[in-house]
Amino acid sequence: MQTVSVSRKEVEEFFDEYRDSIPAQPEAVKLAHILIEIRPSKEVEDSIKAVATSLRQKAIEGVDFATLSQENSSLGAGANGGDLGYVARGDVVPEFARAAFNLSIGDISGVVRTQFGYHIIKCEGKRGDKLKLRHILLAVMPTHEDTVRAGVVADSLIKAARSGDDFRALAKAFSADNTTRAEGGELGWFATNQMPREFISSVTGWTEVGAIKGPILSQFGLHILKLLDYQPERQYSLAEDFDKIKELARQDKTGRLIDKWVEEFKAKTFIEIRE
């Protein structure tokens, strides 16, 4: 079915027949962004690490590990006393795996920092290449002051971009988005009605190409947006969207060929039903 092709005449006939049922091409924006992470301050990091170190010492001195996890863990990690069950190395983030898979049964790890916070890990069993693990997790959450500090950075970058500084250069220098930073923060095209809810009100109807908006808060941090291009909602046309319509016509033809093949197969196939 991959080899099914359609002629220009077939594309035109398909479009004439189905043009009223083909959904309109939605309003879309082409965006670039700079992401400013809201990071906990060193003071917050140090205080959480100190608490984790204290809890580890209690565990080593014999305080029940499951109780310590249940009473102190963040983000629901203390449910069932921090029991993770049997875990393979690939099931956890690398920093966690490096610490956990160096433990013998009964051992308690040092304080381990991952993207989720500070962990203390206890090994309680082994089955093949899996370890039975329990952990205490203390999440490191930014404070209001950390958010304010990130906002000051974002505001200064917005001011610089609006004053004429090159947005691509600013993204390469300051964006925390490792995926887009090398491309000057370019995100590509998005239908405005399918964007995350935090962005919809800011980008819907935004037509001023080259304009800057932000900061916009999401789960990842503060975003500074630049509008690179805009496309209003419109109906498809053969002149502007021939390749897209051609693919729709090819899919339609493929579907009809499959239906025909199934009917032929059913007609040739012997079926016996025994009750």
Is residue 172 very low, low, confident or very high in pLDDT (cuts 50, 70, 90)?
very high
Q: Which domains does the chain have, with CATH numbers?
A: 26-40+143-231 (3.10.50.40), 42-138 (3.10.50.40)
pLDDT of 144 reads 93
Say if residue 2's pLDDT is above 80: no
Give yes or no for residue 89 having a pLDDT over 80.
yes
Predicted pLDDT of residue 96: 97
Three-state SS annotation for the chain = CCCCCCCHHHHHHHHHHHCCCCCCECCEEEEEEEEECCCCCHHHHHHHHHHHHHHHHHHHCCCCHHHHHHHHCCCCCCHHHHEEEEECHHHCCHHHHHHHCCCCCCCECCCEEECCEEEEEEEEEEECCEEEEEEEEECCCCCHHHHHHHHHHHHHHHHHHHCCCCHHHHHHHHCCCCCCHHHCCEEEEEEHHHCCHHHHHHHCCCCCCCCEEEEEEECCEEEEEEEEEEECCECCCHHHHHHHHHHHHHHHHHHHHHHHHHHHHHHHCCCCCCC
Name the pLDDT band for 62 (thresholds 50, 70, 90): very high
pLDDT cut 90: percent of the chain above it: 89
Question: Which whole number is the average pLDDT over 92-111?
Answer: 97
> pTM for the whole thing?
0.69
The answer, yes or no, to whether residue 162 has pLDDT greater than 90, is: yes
Give pLDDT, residue 202: 93
Interval 238-260 mean pLDDT: 93
